[in-house]
Amino acid sequence: MNGKRKSMLTGSIVKQALKDSFIKLNPVVMMKNPVMFVVEIGTFVVLLMVLFPGYFNTAGRTGFNLAVFLILWVTVLFANFAEALAEGRGKAQADTLKKTKKESTANKCVGSEIIVVNSTELRKGDIVVVSQGEMIPGDGEVIEGLASVDESAVTGESAPVMKEAGGDFSSVTGGTRVVSDRIKVVITSDPGESFIDRMISLVEGASRQKTPNEIALNTLLTTLTLIFLIVVVTLAPIAEYLGVPLDIPVLIALLVCLIPTTIGGLLSAIGIAGMDRVTQFNVLAMSGKAVEASGDINTMILDKTGTITYGNRMASEFIPVGGAALAETAHWAAVGSLKDGTPEGRSVLELMNKQQLAYDTEVAAGGEFVEFKAETRMSGIDLQDGRHVRKGAVDAVRRWVLAQRGSIPEDLAAKSDAIASEGGTPLAVAVDGKIYGLIHLKDTVKPGMKERFEQLHQMGIKTIMCTGDNPLTAATIAREAGVDEFIAESKPEDKIAVIRREQAEGKLVAMTGDGTNDAPALAQADVGIAMNSGTVAAKEAANMVDLDSDPSKIIEVVAIGKQLLMTRGALTTFSIANDVAKYFAIIPAMFMAAIPQMKALNVMGLGSPLSAILSALIFNAVIIPLLIPLAMKGVRYKPMSSARLLARNLTIYGLGGVIAPFAGIKLIDLVVHLWI
């Protein structure tokens, strides 16, 4: 399904990551990760002792010190490798994208002339003409014409998509190709700020910033590191007093074992891999913050048409009311749809043809088209002879007719309710004060929706369906799909109101949208996902763009976000539990010689103090690469409540984190003890 963008870990990515692990040793880079920076400083100190044993008076310990140095160095490299590997896939993808960003020529309209310019010379507001076979030279909006466009360079999807002036399918992306017809496009981005440019810097991680969550965790890890630093520094005089002289390399080894190096080494890899998973899913997240926020979502706002249903609402029947004839009803429905370019409007004319019903286009000559608006929920035409033809949501048309002192046919309500209770959308057709009948628009709920909403329910997420449709249709579809709440007869601004209401209760809200009138709500939502097919305004307001333009994907995006937060939590728990266990391995071993009672605490029965320290240190290092796959793939996520999840993860990763080092260190010690 979405396998098209999947780039696996290739040999070249691994090779590059190995190289980057060394480049990242640069202290200026390391400093951003305080835990690993402390390890690096420790490594350097031990190295000095290996190089100048005479100066430090450690000649007798050079072998042990060399071992400590090597293990510490490898620990830092492992952490760097984890990050570099996580970055690798995005970098490879960026390279592919850069290749598609070839320079091209553009046919720029200047007055009535067309001149050929380089695509890099185009600025916001310029107008270009793009014909069959040509590449669209920049991001923009179609202002004239209709064409099918191959967007595979951006979306990976090879089937061409229709782009047309006006409406929600007017935006085009630079670097995509017109495969048929010809369009006039107004450029909407300056050079260097195009969608592909932004995409490159996103997947490349160039603009990656630490998220608030990551910063908070980093602060915690740094604090823990500081505390252990103080503990270890004060341990030296105590040991001295007890008559156990502790060497500096031993103290450094102890410190490194105690500070949270596992999570410190994997933290940024987890974040990068989380964003990468979203990208592999063909969703562009403008920031890591957006991905994380999606993991914390409490409420999801969904459109009915096109999200929960297929959205190809088609006229399926004309139903006269108030004693009107079928031909009359159909005729006015058609006249009111003559210039209505929406799928609904076009489907009315198609139904006329299918049913071989006649309509008179002459009446409409010179008439003024009244475009469909989500605010009015009506469309139609004002005829030259002064008559007004309208079709639209039943309540809207009813109000419009009443405002002109018209009357409402008695059978209108029953007939429109019949359509609505089947989940269909009734449109009333009226001319001035008279309602002629109804158009039955049919739409179907996408298969599998019920199961997905059930999952969201288990995650503790409330779903609210917002629709411009009437309450009865809304209720039917809501029931069929299994959403928790619905808001019917909603106008675009109602969406913002719902989002604000939920946010005021302290909830995080996600929504999808594609139209210009969705833009404010997309901006207001904590997670706003715009459809790539949507308008430029929607894409700019949102913090994610779905390249496949599948509004129901929001459900999986939330799951990925949750998985990211869970992975980070699980590995933090594991890391800290690990460190506690290591403490019990090392401390008794270190003091055994001086304080015989400590032997009782040497539950692990490790070979010798030195082999205990080295074994703990080796375990501490290898656990990082062992956990890289988990950090990159994320822990498996099963929909359940947060409380149950927490309990489950504490058991697995907390308990596991305590047990694993005991077993691991013991095994390593069996081998290491053969030498020491």
Q: CA–CA distance from 383 to each of 352, 369, 431, 490, 671 (Å)?
A: 20, 9, 10, 29, 93
User: Per the annotation, does 378 bind a ligand?
Assistant: yes
Kindly state the smallest distance separating residue 360's Cβ from ligand ATP, in Å. Answer: 20
CA geometry: angle 495, 498, 500, nearest 5 deg: 110
> How many Cβ atoms are within 10 Å of 674's Cβ, its own excluded?
9
Which partner, Mg ion, ligand ATP, K ion, none, binds residue 602 by CB below 5 to 8 Å per kind?
none
* Residue that is written with structure tokens 């029931």 in the block: 479
Q: Is 93 helix (H, G, I), strand (E, B) or coil?
A: helix
Q: What is the 3-state secondary structure (H, E, C) of 502-562?
A: HHHCCCCEEEEECCHHHHHHHHHCCEEEEECCCCHHHHHHCCEEECCCCHHHHHHHHHHHH
Contact 543/285 with Cβ under 8 angstroms? yes
User: Per the annotation, does 374 bind a ligand?
Assistant: yes
Q: Does 427 bind ligand ATP (CB under 6 A)?
A: yes
Read off the DSSP letter of residue 607: S
Kindly state the smallest distance separating residue 346's Cβ from ligand ATP, in Å. Answer: 9
Q: Does 468 bind ligand ATP (CB under 6 A)?
A: yes
Q: Does 261 bind K ion (CB under 5 A)?
A: yes
Q: Which residue is nearest to ligand ATP (CB)?
A: 468
What does DSSP say about strands 388-393 and 171-172: parallel, antiparallel, or unpaired? unpaired
Structure tokens belonging to residue 488? 């019917």
Q: Does 379 bind ligand ATP (CB under 6 A)?
A: yes
Kindly state the smallest distance separating residue 433's Cβ from ligand ATP, in Å. Answer: 19
Q: In the annotation, is 276 catalytic?
A: no
User: Per the annotation, does 391 bind a ligand?
Assistant: yes
Which partner, ligand ATP, K ion, Mg ion, none, binds residue 65 by CB below 5 to 8 Å per kind?
none
Q: Does 374 bind ligand ATP (CB under 6 A)?
A: yes
Which residues have C-beta within 8 Å of that of residue 413, sequence separation ≥ 6?
none
User: Per the annotation, does 195 bind a ligand?
Assistant: no
Of 303 and 579, nearer to K ion (C-beta) is 579
| Strand order, beta sheet including 509-513 | 283-285, 544-546, 527-531, 509-513, 299-303, 462-466, 485-487
Of 266 and 330, nearer to K ion (C-beta) is 266
Which partner, K ion, Mg ion, ligand ATP, none, binds residue 150 by CB below 5 to 8 Å per kind?
none
Q: Point out which span in 174-182, 304-312, 528-536, 539-547 binds Mg ion (CB under 5 A).
A: 304-312
Which position among 89, 304, 331, 553 is part of the footprint of ligand ATP (CB under 6 A)? 304
User: Per the annotation, does 121 bind a ligand?
Assistant: no
Which position among 43, 305, 549, 649 is part of the footprint of Mg ion (CB under 5 A)? 305
Could you tell me how many residues make up the chain? 676
Ramachandran region, residue 538 (left: φ > 0; alpha: ψ -120 to 50; beta: rest):
alpha
User: Per the annotation, does 276 bind a ligand?
Assistant: no
Contact 199/101 with Cβ under 8 angstroms? no
Of 257 and 393, nearer to ligand ATP (C-beta) is 393
Return d(Cα 90, Cα 94) in angstroms, integer. Answer: 6
Which residues have C-beta within 8 Å of that of residue 459, sequence separation ≥ 6?
558, 559, 562, 639, 640, 641
Q: Point out which span in 62-70, 377-385, 450-458, 609-617 binds ligand ATP (CB under 6 A).
A: 377-385
Q: Point out which span in 40-48, 207-215, 387-395, 588-596 binds ligand ATP (CB under 6 A).
A: 387-395
Structure tokens belonging to residue 125? 């507001």
Q: Catalytic one among 20, 168, 197, 303?
A: 303
Kindly state the smallest distance separating residue 265's Cβ from ligand ATP, in Å. Answer: 47
What single-letter amino acid sits at 638?
A: K
* Residue that is written with structure tokens 């060394």 in the block: 22
Which partner, ligand ATP, K ion, Mg ion, none, binds residue 427 by CB below 5 to 8 Å per kind?
ligand ATP
User: Per the annotation, does 526 bind a ligand?
Assistant: no
Which partner, ligand ATP, Mg ion, K ion, none, binds residue 377 by CB below 5 to 8 Å per kind?
ligand ATP
Q: Point out which span in 351-359, 469-477, 574-582, 588-596 binds K ion (CB under 5 A).
A: 574-582
Which position among 250, 378, 536, 565 is part of the footprint of ligand ATP (CB under 6 A)? 378
Q: Which residues sit opposite 427 in a β-bridge?
A: 393, 439
- Tell me the longest C-alpha to C-alpha distance in the chain: 110
Of 155 and 490, nearer to ligand ATP (C-beta) is 490
Contact 138/127 with Cβ under 8 angstroms? no
Kindly state the smallest distance separating residue 543's Cβ from Mg ion, in Å. Answer: 21
Of 33 and 620, nearer to K ion (C-beta) is 620
Q: CA–CA distance from 580 to each of 164, 254, 577 (Å)?
A: 63, 12, 5
Contact 657/577 with Cβ under 8 angstroms? yes
Structure tokens belonging to residue 263? 């999570």
Residues touching Mg ion, count (CB under 5 A): 1
Q: Which residues sit opposite 105 in a β-bridge?
A: 118
Return d(Cα 337, Cα 608) in angstroms, integer. Answer: 89
Residues touching ligand ATP, count (CB under 6 A): 22
User: Per the annotation, does 495 bind a ligand?
Assistant: no
Of 374 and 595, nearer to ligand ATP (C-beta) is 374
**Helix, strand and coil in the chain, % to nearest 5:** 55, 15, 25
Q: Does 398 bind ligand ATP (CB under 6 A)?
A: no
Q: Which residues sit opposite 378 in a β-bridge?
A: 373, 392
Structure tokens belonging to residue 143? 């202002």
Site for ligand ATP in 312-371 (CB under 6 A): 340, 342, 344-345
Kindly state the smallest distance separating residue 341's Cβ from Mg ion, in Å. Answer: 15
Kindly state the smallest distance separating residue 224's Cβ from K ion, in Å. Answer: 10
User: Per the annotation, does 379 bind a ligand?
Assistant: yes
Q: Which residues are designated catalytic?
A: 303
> Under the rule (CB under 5 A), what is the footprint of K ion?
261, 579, 620
For the annotated binding site for Mg(2+), the residues are 514, 518
> Under the rule (CB under 5 A), what is the footprint of Mg ion?
305
For the annotated binding site, the residues are 340, 344, 372-379, 391, 514, 518
For the annotated binding site for ATP, the residues are 340, 344, 372-379, 391
> Under the rule (CB under 6 A), what is the footprint of ligand ATP?
303-306, 340, 342, 344-345, 372, 374, 377-379, 391-393, 425, 427, 466-469
